[in-house]
Structure 1
Amino acid sequence: MSDASIDWAALYQKHRKAMFGAAREVLRGSGRVDLAEDAVQNAMVSLMQSPPTEAPRSWEALLVATAKRRALDMATSAYMSRRAPLSEDVPETDHVVVEDEVLERLETLAVARAVLARRDDRTRTVFREVVVFDRPRAEVAAELGVTPPRISQIVTEVLAEIRAAVEKGG
């Protein structure tokens, strides 16, 4: 039962971006970032059904941690449901394919971080807001005082640099 003294809508509005970003980061490893919104929704429903008995020190920390846990639950169940049980019909090398995919994603992530580290703060902000948090280009442009096409150019330049660095091998 939800506690009527807690303004859940206001908490959601205030912390949804952080919750979504955390859930998306957890789900990225499983290739299921499409479930990030579901993880945030599940986190909110869970907290509304069982609110904390005392006000937490930080609502943001509680909401983000709950969203991460829900995302982790989803990532684990998505991963497990995609894997076939090992049997005589399924080659035992399937786990090698999964490990290779994970390693490839980790290498790409490391390359992307290195590319972004060489860029200025504004470029990193644009990339984080548009690509990681999936915010509308027009919204980010308005906040930074540039045009939406400039935001698109920045994102395209960074993605091209990351692709080139990945193809080059780092």
Structure 2
Amino acid sequence: MPDTYRTENEPKSELFDQLSHVRAGMLGIEGSGAHMRPMTHFADAGKAVLWFITSRKTDLAAQVGQGATAHYCLVGEDTGYFACLRGAIRQSDNSEMLDELWNAVAAAWFTGRDDPDLLLLEMSLRDAEVWSATNSRFQFGLEIACANLDKDAKPDIGAHTVVRF
């Protein structure tokens, strides 16, 4: 469950906590004209980097080319946490990182760790916009009722902030 206080006061740590709980988001390449696609991310909070494993044969690999700007959208499943992250994305030949990330799920898509179609993408985060909302039905109902009783009042049911890396 997201913490609205942390979204406002510790947005980077809350973002990376949420990235550790939600396993997939939607990745798109700016200016490509293509739709975003679901991808599993691997987050490195210390370096503000997201890693992705894909195939060299995908449209995504072609769109990244030698480097591009990407957007990655995260929606917490039933948690009220939403984020849109932006940064430079590039193809990476970091075999040590690929060894660290390699798992049974990734292996299901390839013939093995040395599959020539295997491609590691590195997204260096530049900024993110994040929102979190209360999960309390009581608080939500109370805020909506108060806002309906007082037209000058606005419901306080969440937090929003911009994060720079």
Q: Same fold (TM over 0.5)?
A: no
Question: Which has the larger share of strand?
Answer: 2
Higher Cα Rg, which structure? 1
TM-score, normalising length from structure 2? 0.21
Query: Larger helix proportion, structure 1 or 2?
Result: 1
